[in-house]
Structure 1
């Protein structure tokens, strides 16, 4: 027991994963080293899950789900309220893990923990918000009832960039409305993306077997996670090609997919340029640009383009790359060598295609994975504008006028988040309504995430919505039950 005011003892045992209420080593022959992307330090080594582990996890989730769904709403709510209290007590521990494993700088790690807390608070209300309907019938004496029920078991596959939040964003609502869950976190962030979250729920009193975590190679267990016959919903956050592959392999399952993005921030001719620069700097460079909602392109009206670029470049040059444990650091490491190489290759191709490199720099840090912020000016066709970069790179694109800016903003296969800056709010709203995206923010950055609203994308950016009532709909199903109160005369009777 901890003394009053004493920090709780840190969680341990991250060389195991929770399957069927027991923390156990994975059954495959592979062992993965989980490393710190800045220092290269091995944080833990995990014997990885096998396809047999995936099957056990799903069967355990199904076995625990019915009793959990039958609990009174207040009982399920209390688990989430306890989880919030525990998260508050362990806030520093969660922040340190995000810095060490995900390469998050300190303020970014704090931001992610706040997001997780918000999702827990929203999910705590879900058990009492699941509601059915009573509908009239064209048949005399009949009543139609539509009950909203949990789907049963949900598969959650989460990415490495905001691992704790993007896992919990699906895990919390799925559990809250009465489902069991099998979570597969990304290989780069198995602790913050899954194991740490499981420890939190376990301490909060979630019944054993309800939340199972399988840490394994996608090449070995990915198909088993997606095609297993037990899960009815697959919630995936990640790249568009992987999401499309999941949809092909599980055509009869409901897929909630949050995929790639190419977020435009449009600066109109009447915008507050200082405010727009603030939004662009945050949107392009927070967490090294490794955010699905990142400002990939800043589309600026020609009348203010040069002034904007000058101000933007000055701010970017002042950003501080380095050690994410240092409170002054603003740009930390890219998550791994492969991702680092992809980012540099896109910068190189953009320059080869005529983009001007306004701000750049050489790699830093013990592992060489800290890429200083880069800023380019080019067309909508250069690689860093046409493709999702997922690195600390911003590209400014000149627009002739408002109509041209809208054309440029929509000239992408993606449609996740977007933003527009203008001195006239209603002009901004009219512009936003014409953007082909799931989310558009007026006089703000492209990076916004409230737990009670409709988060999601259009086009190649995904299917479905996360958050609030939309999350309840994603993780429940309707069951029509009719009651015939008076005898009914049937044609063949």
Structure 2
């Protein structure tokens, strides 16, 4: 959505290794259906966003990452346009692993267990929104509770905000909340006053 220029956009997709191949093909097909290969590429607010994404991709591929989908060298008719890129084999020593692209670049990471997924999910300075997709709600809730994020959406996309639900992040994504009663609390100052018994 919006070429990845939303604070809640998905940056990393963690997929169990047992379904990585069919998932990758399904994701590539979905991207094809949303973003046609002919015509204009999606637009970013400024050319700096395109440059940042290309620098992240250049660093990652120079260190062994593989482009699963897209062409980072594609020529577009504007310096502010860039087509979606899916990157595989991303490792910790690559800038893309930790840096928010804020663009149409997403990484695919293979995991072998819930514990490995949690370790990677929490290995970030950001913590605004995320998602867990599963057929097992109990397992999904267990994972959601342990992910360090202001919001986790089970079987729904990470871009999700409603005025009736508190919204805000953790870590460098902030600690305040807006929306609902939690948002109203941000406008007041809570004070605690105590006293011991008085002889009146």
- Number of the residue aligned with 1:73: none
Asked if the contact 1:379/1:398 (under 8 Å) is kept, the reply is no
1:333 aligns with 2:43: yes
Residue 372 of structure 1 is matched in structure 2 by 83
Shift of residue 368, structure 1, vs aligned partner: 2.5
> CA separation of 1:348/1:317 partners in 2, compared to 1, >3 Å: closer, same or farther?
farther
Deviation digits for residues 134-157 of structure 1, max 9, x if unmatched?
A: xxxxxxxxxxxxxxxxxxxxxxxx
Which structure has the highest helix share of the two?
1
Secondary structure in structure 1 of the residue aligned to 2:131: strand
2:165/2:179 contact within 8 Å kept: yes
Alpha-carbon separation, structure 2, partners of 1:475 and 1:375: 41
Structure 2: gaps (5+ residues): none
Instruction: Tell me the distance in 2 between the aligned counterparts of 1:380 and 1:408.
Output: 11
Following superposition, the deviation at residue 314 of structure 1 comes to 2.2
Determine if the alignment matches structure 1 residue 288 to structure 2 residue 6.
Answer: no
Aligned position for 2:14: 299
Return the offset for 1:364: 2.2
Structure with larger RCO (C-alpha < 8 A, sep 6+)? 2
Shift in alpha-carbon separation, 1:320–1:427, aligned structure 2, 3 A: same
Equivalenced residue count is: 192
Deviations 1:434-455 (A, max 9, x none): 1111111111111101111111
Displacement after TM superposition at 1:339 (Å): 2.1
Distance (Å, rounded) in 1 between the aligned partners of 2:38 and 2:101? 20
Cα deviation, residue 306, structure 1? 1.3
Paired residue for 1:408, among 104, 110, 120?
120
CA distance in 1, matches of 2:22, 2:14: 13
Structure-1 residue corresponding to 2:24: 309
Aligned alpha-carbon RMSD (Å): 2.3
- Map residues 70-81 of structure 1 onto 2, 5 A cutoff: none
Q: 1:332 to 1:322 in 2, by over 3 A?
A: farther
Find the structure with the greater CA-based Rg.
1
Hey, what does 2:171 align to over in structure 1?
459
TM-score by length of 2: 0.87
In the aligned structure 1, how far is the partner of 2:182 from the partner of 2:139? 28
| 1:302/1:399 contact within 8 Å kept | yes
CA distance in 1: counterparts of 2:60 and 2:51, whole angstroms: 14
* Structure 1 spans left out of the alignment, 5+ residues: 1-285, 324-328, 482-487
8 Å CA contact retained: 2:50, 2:79:
no
Does the 8 Å contact 1:289/1:393 carry over to 2?
A: yes
Q: Decide which structure has greater strand share.
A: 1
Report what 2:36 is aligned to: 320
**TM-score for the superposition, normalised by structure 1:** 0.37
- Deviation >6 Å, runs of 4+: none
